[in-house]
């Protein structure tokens, strides 16, 4: 798609625009028509966007960052991928008049590598669409080459990276893939001939390689130096958190985890990591602060919200067992209710039903910790058993939590009914995968994790 035939190339693109402002959508349609894009669909909410993406193939999807009160464009993009509605062949462009630190960092933390500030001229939009399309084409070619595990075509990969409009984006994909595949020899070979200057994903890849070679201290120092020079490098903060957890230094791990979370409070994984570390360190005020910030940023498009709330609730339960002074406990309980109230305000009506069940399971857990078993079982009978003919509607993580309580209080028939439903499920987020492992070990269906695996899984959500 060269400059001299840019208009001809734009004519072939199929574009979806998602924005909650009808005036903005009208302007988008005019600009896209002006630059030669003929196939354009527009929608005003995330529900219509999901339906449209499920029914049509788009070359590029343009997403407004602030879609409505409870959904961002970045979160919607993640939902597209989670539901497998789009693949590497679809380019994503996030647009917003909000260029605050949180908006940009959160937007670029997920699946959307391109951000554009509103308002903009039609000519600027044309240039960016070409860039998005060509970058996505490069990523698709890289994906094909890197899927061939038995070979490593470095020359071919370098050619694709250097020809991409955003070479750092293309190289970042190569580096992330090699780290995920644990192809350390290939990663070492690539880094020795890397065609780009230092950037955060290159630093992270180098740190992983150094750690594999037994020089984790050097790797950690390099990451911390990079963060000092680049205080918005949240992915480097994630790695520093991981390295410090592995070194049993939860104080420093919390420093970086909390720093990353504060910059992107709607990211569930960072909220859970920070909350777990706060719990390990008995930082109860920080634990409540994390809960308030996460609840205030919760998105109805975040399919991990209920499993994240469940894990966060276990942190709260542990805190309640450690806080002995009655006056402090009372204040802590009031703060928990405040967090729950904030959460309800962010949810849809169907999600509120899941939240209702979660609250009762949370209360059962608290009563069990307090050895108040009669009260716990009464709550179980009144709130969980009514779902006996409706278990298919319960989120998997809540099914697993329900099973533990039902089995503990010897409600064997319902426990087996729940177990049968869990066995039918086959799609889980990372938090639910962890709960599922605990469930399988409990039932003797899986071996116990190693001590290191157990320690890391209790804190880190990567």
Question: Could you report the per-residue pLDDT of 39-78, keeping only the tens digit for each?
Answer: 999 999 888 999 999 999 999 999 998 887 777 888 888 8
Q: Tell me the average pLDDT across 382-397.
A: 82
Residues forming beta bridges with residue 95, ordered by sequence position: 64, 116
What's the angle, vertex CA 107, arms to CA 207 and CA 87, rounded to 5? 85
Question: What percent of the chain shows pLDDT beyond 70?
Answer: 90
Q: Which of 53-57, 215-219, 247-251, 298-302 has the lowest average pLDDT?
A: 298-302
Q: Is residue 418 part of a domain?
A: yes
Domain extent for 111:
1-123
Q: Is 420 helix (H, G, I), strand (E, B) or coil?
A: helix
Indicate which CATH number applies to the domain containing 11. 3.40.50.2300
Contact 422, 401 (CB under 8 A): no
Q: Name the residue with higher pLDDT: 184 or 99.
A: 184
pTM here? 0.84
For the ranges 183-187, 361-365, 412-416, the lowest mean pLDDT is seen at 412-416
Q: What angle do CA 372, 377, 382 make, to 5 degrees?
A: 130
**Chain centre distance of CA 397:** 17
Helical segments of 384-428, H only: 396-408, 412-424
Mapped onto helix, strand or coil, the DSSP state of residue 62 is strand
What is the domain count for the chain? 2
Pick the more confident residue, 421 or 430.
421
The Cα–Cα gap between 406 and 377 comes to 9
Within-domain flag for 233: no
Last residue of one domain, picked from the residues 123, 141, 175: 123
Q: CA-CA distance, 24 to 68, in Å (whole number)?
A: 14
Q: Is residue 387 part of a domain?
A: yes
pLDDT tens digits along 102-135: 666 665 666 678 888 888 899 999 999 999 989 9
End position of a domain, from candidates 75, 101, 123: 123
Q: How far is CA 152 from CA 71, 156, 157, 356, 459, in A?
A: 40, 9, 9, 51, 35
H/E element holding 373? helix 373-383
Number of neighbours of residue 149 by Cβ within 10 angstroms: 9
pLDDT at 334: 94
How many other C-beta atoms are found inside a 10 Å radius of the C-beta of residue 430?
A: 15
* pLDDT at residue 109, as a whole number: 62
Confidence tier at 458 by pLDDT (50, 70, 90):
very low
Of the chain, the percentage scoring pLDDT greater than 90 comes to 53
Please state, in angstroms and rounded to a whole number, the distance separating the CA atoms of residues 277 and 120: 43
| C-beta atoms surrounding 259 within 10 Å | 17
pLDDT of residue 17: 94
């Amino acid at each position: 798609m060269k400059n001299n035939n840019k208009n001809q190339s734009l004519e072939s693109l199929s574009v979806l625009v998602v924005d909650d402002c009808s005036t903005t959508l009208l302007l988008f349609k005019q600009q896209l028509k002006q630059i030669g894009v003929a196939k354009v669909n527009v929608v005003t909410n995330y529900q219509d966007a999901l339906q449209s993406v499920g029914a049509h193939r788009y070359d590029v999807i343009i997403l407004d960052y602030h879609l409505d009160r409870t959904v961002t464009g970045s979160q919607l993009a993640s939902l597209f991928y989670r539901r497998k509605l789009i693949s590497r062949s679809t380019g994503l462009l996030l647009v917003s008049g909000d260029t605050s630190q949180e908006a940009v960092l959160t937007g670029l933390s997920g699946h959307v590598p391109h951000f554009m500030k509103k308002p903009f001229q039609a000519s600027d939009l044309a240039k960016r669409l070409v860039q998005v399309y060509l970058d996505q084409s490069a990523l698709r070619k890289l994906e094909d080459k890197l899927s061939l595990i038995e070979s490593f075509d470095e020359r071919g990969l370098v050619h694709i990276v250097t020809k991409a409009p955003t070479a750092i984006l293309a190289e970042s994909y190569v580096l992330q893939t090699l780290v995920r595949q644990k192809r350390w020899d290939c990663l070492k070979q690539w880094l020795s001939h890397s065609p780009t200057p230092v950037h955060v994903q290159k630093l992270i890849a180098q740190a992983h390689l150094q750690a594999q070679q037994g020089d984790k201290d050097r790797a950690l120092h390099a990451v911390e130096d990079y963060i000092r020079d680049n205080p918005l490098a949240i992915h480097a903060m994630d790695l520093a958190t991981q390295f410090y957890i592995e070194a049993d230094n939860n104080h420093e791990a919390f420093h970086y985890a909390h720093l990353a979370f504060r910059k992107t409070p709607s990211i569930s994984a960072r909220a859970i990591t920070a909350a777990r570390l706060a719990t390990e360190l008995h930082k109860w005020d920080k634990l409540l602060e994390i809960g308030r910030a996460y609840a205030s940023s919760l998105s109805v498009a975040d399919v991990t919200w209920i499993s994240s709330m469940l894990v966060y609730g276990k942190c709260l339960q542990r805190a309640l067992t450690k806080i002995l002074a009655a006056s402090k406990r009372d204040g802590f309980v009031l703060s928990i209710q405040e967090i729950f109230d904030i959460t309800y305000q962010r949810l849809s009506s169907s999600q509120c039903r899941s939240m209702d069940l979660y609250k009762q399971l949370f209360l059962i857990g608290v009563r069990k910790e307090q050895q108040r078993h009669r009260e716990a079982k009464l709550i179980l009978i009144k709130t969980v058993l009514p779902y006996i003919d409706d278990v298919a509607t319960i989120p998997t993580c809540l099914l697993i939590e329900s099973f533990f309580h039902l089995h503990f209080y010897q409600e064997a028939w319902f426990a087996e009914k729940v177990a049968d439903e869990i066995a039918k499920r086959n799609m889980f987020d990372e938090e639910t995968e962890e709960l599922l492992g605990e469930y399988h070990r409990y039932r003797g269906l899986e071996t116990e994790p190693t001590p290191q695996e157990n320690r890391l899984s209790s804190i880190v959500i990567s």
